[in-house]
């Protein structure tokens, strides 16, 4: 009659058809009574049932427009909480999963490399005579450079006797950077930076022959493996520190020999106008490592739970019991909000207590931003579950959503590096971008709610939450 695929669907159609054909036992339960009676008695009873159904129909229509019931919301919330208890191991995993992501990121991402293999060929001297470590040897600056290179924590130095051998290993990626100290490096270096009388004194004291043939452009040749850009960036940063160390070492060792005014440095050490100069890439990406897992774990929970209720028939039973769509959505949010708060608490303890990540601003606003992001994830999951009819479709959309957020929200690469201005402007209104920047401003710059990025993060998260919740509320009626 109804061409339904399941018995529950046919029963739902029976309950929702015109009340002239249905006898209602009470406001929450409807029973269709079918009996074989004599013709006159059946007609009389049928008229009584029809009059009763019309009276109840008016009451039923009045009940359907009432405000959401607190008792219904609390009952549904308790039902959802009971479903958590059915798999305590999974519940424990949900609680600690954001903390696990934070631990993994702290251990595997953002730290500076310490074992970058580099090769060096010193054509000026083999540095076998270690006297340069005790007194100034102004014609052995290449050895001072090699000494500074060996003292660096980031590099593992391998010395070569020939350039061809070193470059062969560089082509095989056995070393990621090569340094060639030219034969007249010290003389050329001092010829550039010393005054004429000081340079003449140096030539006379060290008995330099054919100094007129030595130019001022003999510098250390450096080559790097540019196929691995992150490592190349670390090498560049380490080289700046290395050259500063080299120049300071030469100045201290040779100040008496080549003049007190000798200073090979080209700039002062940079100071931090905001943040701390010791902050690295790990501190930069840590807000994203906390916010994004909490967002998508919240989205996955509500997505799976709502679709699971539909597939198991629990949602249809709720409709029959007179539960409103708003009550169902609120009950899901309340139950999953409890789990999300525990996740945030564990993640905060892991990041700021165990790994001692810096937070120069107020931690309260940092936690509020994360809670807003988690709430947006809950509403996003509801929206996807109402748009899709199967879990596979919803997970496909969630995966695309995740990839777009990771790429476009500025977690791993600054938005200012985007090639088009309209892309940068559009990215700021994605669910995570402003919240991530606000979290960075709190932890690394010491700002609070007075910062525009923090206010935008809260406002954009609230806007997306309202949009997802309203759309879910409107779309859920098609299942009723």
30 secondary structure, DSSP code: B
Closest to 268 (Cα-Cα) out of 292, 240, 249, 294: 240
Which pLDDT band holds residue 13 (cuts at 50, 70, 90)?
low
Which secondary-structure segment (H or E) carries 210?
A: none
- Residue 344 and residue 276: Cα distance in Å, rounded? 26
What is the widest separation between alpha-carbon atoms in the chain?
Answer: 137
Long-range contacts of 209-215 (CB under 8 A, 24+ apart): 211/187, 214/184, 214/187, 214/188, 215/188, 215/191
Give whichever of 204-208, 244-248, 259-263 has the largest mean pLDDT: 244-248
- φ, ψ at 72 (rounded to 5°): -65, -45
Q: Which residues, in sequence order, are CB contacts of 459 under 8 Å at separation 6+?
A: 434
Which secondary-structure segment (H or E) carries 180?
A: strand 177-181
- 177-181/221-224 β-pairing: antiparallel
Q: Which residues are registered as beta bridge partners of 181?
A: 122
Given this model, what pLDDT does residue 383 score?
87
- Residue 429 and residue 369: Cα distance in Å, rounded? 15
Q: Which residues are registered as beta bridge partners of 159?
A: 120
pLDDT at 369 over 60: yes
The first and second tokens of residue 286, run together, are: 């840590």
Which pLDDT band holds residue 5 (cuts at 50, 70, 90)?
low
Are the C-beta atoms of residues 154 and 111 closer than 8 Å to each other?
no
- Residue 352 and residue 366: Cα distance in Å, rounded? 12
Q: How many CB atoms lie within 10 A of CB 365?
A: 22
Are the C-beta atoms of residues 403 and 432 closer than 8 Å to each other?
no
Which pLDDT band holds residue 306 (cuts at 50, 70, 90)?
confident
> How do residues 96-114 score in pLDDT, each as one tens digit?
777 777 777 677 666 677 7
Out of 50-64, 67-81, 359-373, 408-422, which region has the weakest mean confidence (pLDDT)? 50-64
Given this model, what pLDDT does residue 52 score?
45
Given this model, what pLDDT does residue 7 score?
58
In the Cβ-directed half-sphere of 352, how many Cα atoms lie within 13 Å? Answer: 18
Closest to 70 (Cα-Cα) out of 306, 323, 320, 273: 323
Q: Which residues, in sequence order, are CB contacts of 358 under 8 Å at separation 6+?
A: 276, 279, 283, 443, 444
Q: Which residue has the higher pLDDT, 453 or 278?
A: 453
> How do residues 458-468 score in pLDDT, each as one tens digit?
999 999 999 99
Given this model, what pLDDT does residue 465 score?
92
Are the C-beta atoms of residues 307 and 390 closer than 8 Å to each other?
yes
For residues 1-19, give the mean pLDDT. 61
For residues 263-273, give the mean pLDDT. 52
For residues 404-431, give the mean pLDDT. 82
Which pLDDT band holds residue 139 (cuts at 50, 70, 90)?
confident
For residues 271-290, give the mean pLDDT. 77
Are the C-beta atoms of residues 191 and 144 closer than 8 Å to each other?
no
Q: Which residues are registered as beta bridge partners of 117?
A: 156
- Is the full-model pTM beyond 0.75? no
Q: Which residue has the higher pLDDT, 367 or 46?
A: 367
Q: Which residues are registered as beta bridge partners of 157?
A: 118
The first and second tokens of residue 319, run together, are: 């409709």
- φ, ψ at 181 (rounded to 5°): -90, 120
Given this model, what pLDDT does residue 461 score?
93
SS3 200: helix
- 210 — alpha (psi -120 to 50), left (phi > 0) or beta? left
């Amino acid at each position: 009659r109804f061409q339904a695929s399941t018995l529950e669907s046919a029963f739902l159609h029976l309950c929702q058809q015109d009340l002239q054909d249905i006898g209602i036992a009470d406001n929450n339960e409807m029973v269709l009574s079918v009996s074989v009676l004599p013709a006159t008695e059946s007609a009389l009873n049928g008229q009584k049932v029809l009059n009763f159904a019309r009276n109840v129909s008016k009451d039923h229509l009045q009940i359907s427009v009432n405000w959401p019931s607190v008792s219904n919301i609390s009952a549904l919330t308790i039902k959802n909480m009971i479903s958590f208890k059915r798999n305590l191991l999974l519940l424990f995993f949900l609680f600690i999963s954001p903390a696990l992501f934070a631990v993994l990121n702290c251990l595997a991402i953002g730290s500076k490399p310490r074992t970058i293999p580099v090769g060096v060929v010193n054509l000026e001297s083999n540095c076998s005579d270690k006297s340069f470590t005790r007194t100034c040897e102004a014609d052995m600056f290449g050895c001072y450079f090699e000494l500074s290179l060996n003292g660096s924590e980031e590099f593992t130095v391998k010395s070569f006797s020939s350039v061809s051998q070193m470059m062969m290993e560089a082509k095989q990626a056995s070393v990621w950077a090569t340094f060639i100290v030219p034969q007249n490096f010290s003389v050329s270096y001092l010829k550039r930076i010393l005054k004429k009388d000081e340079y003449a004194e140096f030539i006379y004291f060290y008995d330099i022959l054919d100094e007129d043939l030595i130019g001022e452009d003999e510098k250390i040749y450096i080559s790097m493996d540019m196929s691995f850009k992150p490592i190349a960036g670390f090498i560049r940063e380490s080289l700046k520190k290395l050259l500063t160390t080299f120049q300071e070492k030469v100045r201290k060792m040779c100040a008496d020999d080549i003049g007190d005014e000798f200073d090979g440095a080209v700039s002062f050490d940079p100071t931090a106008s905001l943040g701390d100069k010791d902050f690295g890439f790990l501190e930069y990406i840590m807000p994203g490592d906390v916010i994004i897992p909490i967002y998508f774990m919240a989205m996955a929970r509500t997505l799976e739970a709502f679709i699971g209720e539909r597939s198991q028939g629990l949602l249809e039973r709720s409709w029959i019991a007179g539960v409103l769509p708003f009550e169902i959505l609120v009950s899901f949010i309340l139950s999953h909000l409890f789990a999300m708060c525990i996740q945030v608490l564990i993640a905060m303890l892991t990041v700021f207590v165990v790994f001692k990540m810096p937070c120069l601003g107020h931690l309260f606003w940092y936690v509020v931003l994360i809670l807003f992001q988690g709430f947006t994830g809950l509403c996003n999951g509801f929206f996807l579950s109402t748009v899709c009819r199967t879990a596979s479709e919803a997970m496909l959309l969630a995966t695309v959503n995740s990839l777009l957020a990771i790429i476009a929200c500025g977690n791993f690469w600054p938005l200012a590096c985007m090639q088009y201005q309209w892309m940068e402007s559009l990215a700021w209104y994605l669910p995570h971008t402003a919240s991530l920047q606000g979290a960075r401003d709190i932890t690394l710059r010491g700002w609070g709610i007075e910062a525009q990025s923090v206010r935008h993060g809260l406002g954009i998260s609230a806007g997306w939450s309202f949009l997802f919740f309203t759309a879910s509320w409107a779309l859920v009626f098609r299942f009723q």
